[in-house]
Amino acid sequence: MPERRSPARRPTMKDIARRAGVSESAVSFALNGRPGVSDITRDRVRRVAEQLGWRPSTAARALSGEGAATVGLVLARPAGTLGVDSFFLQLVSGIQEVLAERHLGLLFQIAEDIGDECAVYRRWWAEHRVDGVLVVDPRTDDPRPGLLDELGLPAVVIGGTPDERHPRLSTVWADDAAAMAALVDGLYTLGHRRIAHIAGLLELAHTERRIRTLRAEAERRGLYEVQSVPTDYSDVAGAAVTRRVLDGPGTPTALIYDNDVMAVAGVAAAVELGFSIPADVSVVAWEDSALCRLVKPWLSALSRDSVEFGRTAARELTALLDGGPARTVRVPVPALIERDSTGRPGRCAPSRYRGD
């Protein structure tokens, strides 16, 4: 006869005591690492606890000063713009791989804007909900590091640059400036002199880094027809800016897009205007994803390992929670995957001006 299944019950210290043949207080001493029991008893209690699947309640741990065993992550983006995003879920996947090893939970929140995000940190802090946070999308003028410093919440800024005003925050970042410099060098070597950069949100720190580097590299080489146009990262903006920069004299021969969605939308807009890729104009997407292989020609893209980026950030946060010092860690520079959308600027003028 099959055993009748009773409803699940969480194993208690009493269960452990009964099974291990010791008193409840001995179990409590043993599991809380306090003196008062022999090493042999401690070992036996721990083994039985493990066999029974006993776990300390998170609430009890938090009240006993062991922390919430939870870290927080806020994504501040208006609901309407939460569309196609190939980076974020991969980042979170890497983060959780590391958190899971430590039995840390991830409290996740979507906020409307940065003010909202700050309010979330204050609430989490007031409610002892998290032991630390992972901060994404660092900005040029960012209120979050100051707030987190003030609250004393351990934090790792993902994608920021080291900031000596907040020595208690760790930073994990990719060198976008180096990636942009290498990209401009590659395009220059191919023969490109007129480059348009369809950039992301101007208030994000990495957007500013890319724009600044592009300008410096252009000046160094005496290129005066190089421009950056900030956008909101949307496909609509990607297409609109593409139309604008391709329309008129001094048409660029290379387009750099700050994400994959804008690159795909930009290619469609360019083709519609009669441009051939890469014959008339080369295209590079900053961020590689399935999207880059969904269009013809396949897009050349700057690729990074987002899962590993997440792992690195989570490791730095657990190090902070363990009492380690704040650190700045640089992940590998994004590498250019050359596909079919980049080449020499072969024609003198785009096809539509030549009537072919």
Q: Does 57 bind a second copy (CB under 8 A)?
A: yes
Number of residues that bind a second copy (CB under 8 A): 68
Distance CA(317)–CA(305), nearest Å, equals 19
Nearer of residues 244 and 296 to a second copy, judged by Cβ: 296
Q: Does 28 bind a second copy (CB under 8 A)?
A: no
Q: Taking contact as CB under 8 A, which single stretch among the options 1-9, 14-22, 185-193, 244-252 is the one that binds a second copy?
A: 1-9
Of 28, 234, 328, 351, the one binding a second copy by CB under 8 A: 234
Q: Which two tokens mark 53?
A: 């699947």
Q: Does 110 bind a second copy (CB under 8 A)?
A: yes
Answer left, alpha or beta for residue 63, where phi above 0 means left and psi between -120 and 50 means alpha.
alpha
Distance CA(288)–CA(335), nearest Å, equals 10
Q: Taking contact as CB under 8 A, which single stretch among the options 7-15, 163-171, 249-257, 323-331 is the one that binds a second copy?
A: 7-15
Which residues 6+ apart lie within 8 Å of 331 measured at CB?
172, 173, 174, 304, 305, 308, 309, 312
- Coil, strand or helix: which one is 112? coil
Report H helices in 102-136: 114-126
- Coil, strand or helix: which one is 294? coil
Of 10, 34, 221, 354, the one binding a second copy by CB under 8 A: 10
Q: Which two tokens mark 200?
A: 């992301």
Of 19, 46, 129, 347, the one binding a second copy by CB under 8 A: 129
Q: What is the DSSP letter of 49?
A: H
Q: Does 265 bind a second copy (CB under 8 A)?
A: yes
Q: What is the footprint of a second copy within residues 65-84 (CB under 8 A)? A: 68-70, 79, 82-84
Contacts to a second copy by CB under 8 A: 5, 7-8, 10-11, 53-63, 68-70, 79, 82-86, 88-90, 92-94, 96-97, 100, 103, 105-110, 122-129, 150-152, 234-235, 261, 264-265, 268, 271-272, 289-291, 293-296, 307
